[in-house]
């Protein structure tokens, strides 16, 4: 199963509201203190998302959060928050990792 990867630069207030709704209360409070201009979204199997989150955090100065939801295919989505260059670097590193997907 392949990963789905998306980059959102300068997310609007509606997108931020959707993301905040899908995050736990603790993450929402933490995110309110994070200065970010981009959000990377990565969807895949839980085990791959944990691995992808590790890659993202080791690649650049980003904050990674689990985006809660229900999916009958056992997929999950993570949100990678930071400046545009950092999020893009994280997504590139995740996409380049041959052990994912």
DSSP states of 15-63 as a string? Answer: HHHHHHHTS-HHHHHHHTT---SEEEEEEEEHHHHHHHHHHHHHHSS-E
Into how many domains does the chain fold?
1
Does a structural domain hold residue 30? yes
Does a structural domain hold residue 44? no
pTM of the shown model: 0.89
pLDDT digits (tens, 9 = 90+) for 45-81: 888 999 999 999 999 999 999 988 766 567 789 999 9
Residue 10 DSSP code: S
In the predicted model, is pLDDT for residue 85 greater than 90?
yes
Q: Compute the distance between CA of residue 32 and CA of residue 45 in angstroms, rounded to an integer.
A: 27
Does a structural domain hold residue 18? yes
Range of the domain at 28: 4-35+57-96
Does a structural domain hold residue 85? yes
CB distance 38 to 83 below 8 Å: yes
Does a structural domain hold residue 8? yes
CB distance 38 to 28 below 8 Å: no
> How big is the CA angle at 55 (ends 83 and 50), to the nearest 5 degrees?
110
Does a structural domain hold residue 40? no
Does a structural domain hold residue 50? no
Does a structural domain hold residue 52? no
């Amino acid at each position: 199963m392949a990963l789905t990867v998306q980059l959102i630069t300068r997310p609007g207030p509606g997108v931020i509201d959707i993301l905040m709704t899908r995050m736990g209360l603790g993450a929402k409070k933490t995110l309110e203190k994070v200065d970010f201009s981009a959000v990377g979204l990565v969807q895949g199997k839980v085990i791959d998302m944990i691995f992808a989150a590790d890659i993202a955090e080791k690649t650049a100065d980003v904050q990674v959060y689990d985006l809660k939801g229900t999916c009958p295919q056992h997929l999950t989505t993570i949100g990678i928050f930071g400046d545009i260059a950092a999020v893009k670097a994280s997504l590139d590193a995740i996409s380049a990792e041959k052990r994912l997907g």
